[in-house]
Amino acid sequence: MADNLSQHSAKQLYSALKTAIQCGDDSEMERLTQDVADRIGESSDSTARDIVFAAARDSLGLAALRALADRIGIDAFLLRDSNGDSIVHMVAENHQSSESMQLIKDAMRETHCFKSPNRDSRGGTVAHCAARNRHTSSSLEWLLNNLGPGCLDDIDASGNSPVHLASQHQTAESMQIIKQKMGNNTECFKQKGFRNRTALHCAAMNRQGPSAFNWLVEELEAACLSEKDEDQYTAMHIAAERQRDEVLQLIKAKTNNAKCFKTRGFNRMTVVHSAAKNEFGSSSLEWLVNELGHQVLTDTDGDGNTVVHIAAAFQTADCMRFIKEKMTGVECFTETGMKFSTVVHYAALNKISNSALHWLVDELGQKCLEVKDQEGNTVIHNAAGSQNAETMEFIKRKMNGVSCFKQGERMTPVHCAAFNTSTFSALTWLVKELGPECLLNKDYQGDTVIHIAAYYQSAECMQFIKDTLGGMKHFRLKGRFRNSITNSAAQNKTGDSALKWLVNELGTEYLKSQDVEGNTPIHDAAEFQTEETLKFIKEKMNGSECFSLRGRDRMTAVHCAAMNKKSSSAFKWLVNELGVNCLMDRDSDDSTPLHMAAEFQDVNVLHFLKEKTKGVECFKTRGYNKSTVVHSAATTQRVSPLPLKWMINELGPECLLYSDRRGDTVIHAAAEFQTKETLQLIKEKLSDVEIFRKVRGRNGMNAVHVAALNKVSRQTLRWLIKQLGPECIKDVNDNGQTVMDLCRFFEANFGMKQMRKEIFQKLEEPL
């Protein structure tokens, strides 16, 4: 009877179980649940576990989950998937009713499984998952009733609390529940989360609608609308882009003035710039223009783009007509923005609609298609990279032929079409019009169209190219850095189908072809794909030995997987396959996969490493410049305090004073690469703010000196000056440099230039 599981997919069997329950077929239900119970502990067969996962992820899976739990017992709720998510997390995020939460509590006979030690793959608690539930707020309310409001204080790997997530995914009802549970206090909605965003920022991104945002606007002070996140966005900027125009009317009523919409945010964009990107259409932009006057359309952002440029990239022909009417002419469409791009260049990048481009060309004439930007790209290049065959046909008619598609200083429009991830219809159209030889043209870096297509397109496109060229000969060509087409496919931005197709067509020897740095497609796949790709490679290579091959800087596939920003699954799979010793392999810089994982992965991976190595001693391992893994956590590419916080909790606050060969401590690394939240954490852990000034590292620099070099956040230096007093910027390093000298060195960066100005003003010294 258990063979039934082997012969069918988990999806099919779960569907059969649901049908049996709905039809009241008790004998079939008992047979299926018994099959699952018999096989649930077998590590070699995941089908039984996948059926339980399916019930936990199904919004209508309560009855099936209950039937499985009755047969399996509490072990059903202890399962975790390959990402580390438990059944409890899945149920909280997906089920439509809090009855599922009660079912788990009754089965487990306690509430410990709902509490903070039980974290999911995103470093979140069960409350975080319940706050993401788009079906209902009842699971979150149930948790608040059973655990108390303290569960709202936990933060996940991104720095968000359940309050932030509920604001982003749920409705005003959840906001009201949270307020009541917090004693009718709204301070929790002002707490900073990921990228320094408040609940108001998160609510502005809410795909469910504006009710949570509207509720928060009514409850909070108007000043909250102007508060900026780490990227300098206000909630107004985000709402203008993500919500409908009614929200803007509410903001105007709250602030008693429409001038707030001229507030500058990220890259000096106004709220009107953000409205020009609104995914619901141009009504928000039109409302703002009517409120503020047509002159706001010519406001430029930090790149020199006007609102008109942005609107052309995101809106339709109707919006272009509105702008023409407001500006009483079409001259505004010929203005140049970033890199001398015209409005027509931006319309050609529009992936939502081609109507804006078609309208502009009809208005301005076909010559606008030939205007070049700073890099030599015409509107035709941009259109090939973003739009479909219909637009290619339109351009052909306007240009009276296809010769325009052969032009280009750096690359042809055919190369650009190979970059197009929205559709490869433009590429197929161009190849059919120009002939197969256009696929072999090289761009300025030495890549053919085939190399680029392998990097961005799917197996379907590879098959089209093979059919067009009449075979596989040209798939063996080398491109820039001696990259093979298989190397390009291993780095594919959209998936691994092109890579699998190439390996099946060319043979496994191409998995070992090295680029100029020594990387093989195996290394690239580890860095850019998931565990499923690596399983495919293992099968093709008849074993796991290939993952120990050395690539660039003598890195193994494990090093590369540790840097994988797409998924941690490749890294975990490799460690499980090769054993923990692979974590101690060193590259040419003496760095181990441990160091790289701490820099590129999240807390969930650190938990995994602790479990695999049976302790935390591995995090004291020395690498490049004799730096520890804790140093790497402080320089994390995710710019999050959570990996470092986790390390401090595991190793103790003394790990912050570990120094590398140059004398830099973990404190120095955090000051140079992290935000003020991380330094606040360090202050709390060490109970000493003066340590930022006292401890000296490379070239006699303290934390204030290295914070002046921080490219991630200028808030870090501001925070230190506020904590230590303005006199700290006069501290001199071994080279005789003060903090101000280091700021001058970086003053080409706007933030640092502004910082220098502010510091001088604080000291009342002349500029």
How far apart CA 280 and CA 259 sit, in angstroms, is 23
Residue 35 lies in a domain: no
CATH number, domain of 742, equals 1.25.40
Give the mean pLDDT of the chain.
93
Helices within 624-710 (DSSP H only): 629-634, 642-651, 666-673, 676-686, 691-694, 703-707
Looking at 415, 434, 453, the residue that finishes a domain is 434
pLDDT, residue 764, reads 39
Q: What residues contact 401, with CB distance under 8 A and at least 6 apart?
A: none
Q: What residues contact 100, with CB distance under 8 A and at least 6 apart?
A: 61, 62, 65, 91, 139
Residue 456 lies in a domain: no
Confidence of residue 762 (pLDDT cuts 50, 70, 90): very low
Q: Are 298 and 332 in contact (CB under 8 A)?
A: yes
How far apart CA 223 and CA 167 sit, in angstroms, is 18
**Confidence check: pLDDT of 767 > 50:** no
Crossing angle between the packed helical segments 211-219 and 172-181, to the nearest 10 degrees: 40
**Confidence check: pLDDT of 765 > 80:** no
List b or e across 584-621, with b for residues whose CB sees 16 or more CB atoms inside 10 angstroms.
ebbbeeebbbbbbbbbbbbbbbbbbbbeebeebebbeb
Looking at 409, 434, 459, the residue that finishes a domain is 434
pLDDT, residue 336, reads 96
Q: Are 84 and 601 in contact (CB under 8 A)?
A: no
pLDDT tens digits, one per residue of 721-750: 999 999 999 999 999 999 989 988 776 443
Residue 321 lies in a domain: yes
Residue 287 lies in a domain: no
Task: For residue 665, list its beta bridge partners.
Answer: 659
Q: Which of 44-58, 468-482, 510-524, 529-543 has the lowest mean pLDDT?
A: 44-58
Residue 717 lies in a domain: yes
**Confidence check: pLDDT of 158 > 90:** no
Residue 292 lies in a domain: no
Name the residue range of residue 337's domain.
Answer: 303-434
Residue 376 lies in a domain: yes
pLDDT tens digits, one per residue of 449-488: 999 999 999 999 999 999 999 999 999 999 999 999 999 9
pLDDT, residue 747, reads 65
Written as six digits, the tokens of 433 are: 């019009």
Written as six digits, the tokens of 725 are: 């007093």
CATH number, domain of 422, equals 1.25.40.20
Quote the distance between the C-alpha of residue 38 and its chain's center: 40
Q: What whole-number percentage of the chain has pLDDT above 70?
A: 95
Residue 251 lies in a domain: no
What's the structural domain count of the chain?
A: 2
pLDDT tens digits, one per residue of 286-313: 999 999 999 999 999 999 999 999 999 9
Q: How many Cβ atoms sit within 10 Å of the Cβ of residue 12?
A: 12
Alpha carbons within 13 angstroms on the beta-carbon side of residue 106 total: 9
pLDDT tens digits, one per residue of 557-574: 999 999 999 999 999 999
| Residue range 220-229: mean pLDDT, rounded | 97
Looking at 434, 458, 491, the residue that finishes a domain is 434
Quote the distance between the C-alpha of residue 534 and its chain's center: 22
Q: What is the DSSP string of 241-255?
A: HHS-HHHHHHHHHHH
Task: List C-alpha distances in Å: 294 to 121, 283, 346, 359.
Answer: 48, 15, 20, 21
Phi, psi (rounded to 5 degrees) for 400: 55, 40
Phi, psi (rounded to 5 degrees) for 671: -65, -30
**Confidence check: pLDDT of 760 > 80:** no
Q: How many Cβ atoms sit within 10 Å of the Cβ of residue 185?
A: 12
